Amino acid sequence: MTLIEELGEFAAGLRLGDAPPAAAATLRLHLFDTLTAGLIGMTTPEAQAARALLTDLGAGERAASGEGARPSAPLAALAGCIVTRCTEIDDIDLLSCTTPGAVVVPTALALAGQAGADADTFLAALLAGYEALTRFGQAADGPTILYRGIWPTYLAGALGAAATAARLLALSGQATAHALAAAVTLSSGTSGRVRGLSSRWLTLGCAAQNGILAALGARHGLRGDSSLLDGAWSATTGIALDGAALTRGLGRPFAIERVSIKPYCAAKQVTSSIAAFVALLDERVVEPTAVEQVIVAVPPAYARMIDQPAPPPERLGGIASAQHQLALAAYYRDELLDVRRPEQHREPAFRALMERVQVVADPRLASDYPRTWPARVTVRFAGGEATREVRHTAGDPGHPFTWDDALAKARRVLRGVATPAAVDRLATTCRELGAGAALSDLRAALAAAGGPGDDR
């Protein structure tokens, strides 16, 4: 049996009851967190671009916001992925360096109605998608290839979406393998980086769309080369693949149990730095105005990425900047979970603190990377210095979010967008999905919070 066939058999046979209760509860928590990202993402400029794109494609000018005619499932997944991932508050798997929820959840939402799925099947499809996407990212060594210009989530996105869609469509193991094989051929992993409204989000949306297309094609008999990942793919792409990591111990434990939830609107590479600096400020070691220097030490893999001292030019320009995020933590901490960030701070004290932040690479912090993405922050001031090292931030497997944590995050993120009552209703529905709440309840709760209310 090939690697793809093995993964296909697993996805096709997966049932929600195969997951331990704790894993199923974690899955529901991630569903809520991802829906939170999608709801706030619908208010961004990227969402406006997605709506205009759907209009060009004949899907109805209001379709991406859930109003008016709904687009087809592939296009709905494309739009949903764009608005979810562009927020930078969606979940992330450290071992694979992938952001699975932003692909898997919009895919499942887009197709569930057409597939006639019930809540248990919907959740089983999410499990399958999380498993396939993160395992492919890990097998391709996502935490390393990211810094070669390959986006692991885009590389694995179509495969993850195909696994999700195939399970929703109740495809056989063989048909699921054909869907996965077709999906593997549909993304290069390369998207590039630009300022402003980036096509980066579109490429990932296309991965979600392509995963659904691959599954629908397999349902109608279109076959893929299920031997691709046994050698030909690596030879063609130049990306080494650890086949054992792709299929060894599928579901033992489930990948969802190790996926992190973000505590800030930030690149994950900078969250430990923020957490360490916040801890020092909260201990009142020093006031921000008295800081003479801040030294942020991180593993060499991402030191260069987070060392961005220039003021960000637009909304998400500072998400990976240690300098900008630490200045926010000092002066505008509430904005660490503000996805829209309408104001770019230019006051002298804010800019002065940014200029005092120095990022250094420390190989000693790489001993457990990528299992942990740590930072050690040292603050120097007239009376001395203080240091704090953080290896697990809130939301990591070592410090997991509770439902209260996720609800507090959602209420802040959706402030002014959804009422607290609507946010609470969505949380309760996600928590009880498949155990008292049906997919129709989820659609109604999502609509009440301002999202798309019907995927059929």
pLDDT digit string (tens) for 127-168? 999 999 999 999 999 999 999 999 999 999 999 999 999 999
Contact 353, 331 (CB under 8 A): yes
Question: What pLDDT does residue 456 have?
Answer: 39
| Fold annotation for 3-263+404-448 | 2-methylcitrate dehydratase PrpD (1.10.4100)
**Residue 454: which pLDDT band, with cuts at 50, 70 and 90?**
very low
Contact assessment for residue 250 and residue 71, using Cβ atoms and an 8 Å cutoff: no
Do 419 and 410 meet the contact criterion of CB atoms below 8 Å apart?
no
Query: Has residue 313 got a pLDDT over 70?
Result: yes
Question: What pLDDT sits at residue 172?
Answer: 98
Give residue limits of the domains in the chain. Answer: 3-263+404-448, 268-390
Distance of CA 345 to the CA centre of its chain: 27
Q: What amino acid is encoded at 30 in this protein?
A: H
- pLDDT of residue 396 exceeding 90: yes
**pLDDT: which is higher, 81 or 70:** 81
Closest to 422 (Cα-Cα) out of 102, 35, 81, 120: 35
CATH number for the domain whose boundaries are 268-390: 3.30.1330.120
- Whole-number CA gyration radius for the chain: 21
| Model pLDDT, residue 191 | 74
Q: What is the pLDDT of residue 70?
A: 64
Q: What is the mean pLDDT of residues 392-400?
A: 94
Peptide bond into 263 cis (omega under 30): no
374 within 8 A of 389, measured Cβ to Cβ: yes
Q: Calculate mean pLDDT across residues 406-430.
A: 97
The whole-number pLDDT of residue 285 equals 72
For residue 194, what are the contacts with CB-CB under 8 A and spacing of at least 6?
200
More confident residue, 343 or 321: 321
Phi and psi at residue 329, to the nearest 5°: -60, -35
* Whether residue 184 has pLDDT greater than 50: yes
280-306 pLDDT, tens digit per residue, is: 999 877 789 899 999 999 999 999 999
pLDDT digits (tens, 9 = 90+) for 21-79: 999 999 999 999 999 999 999 999 999 998 898 888 887 544 444 444 567 999 999 99
pTM for this predicted structure: 0.95
The pLDDT mean for the chain works out to 93
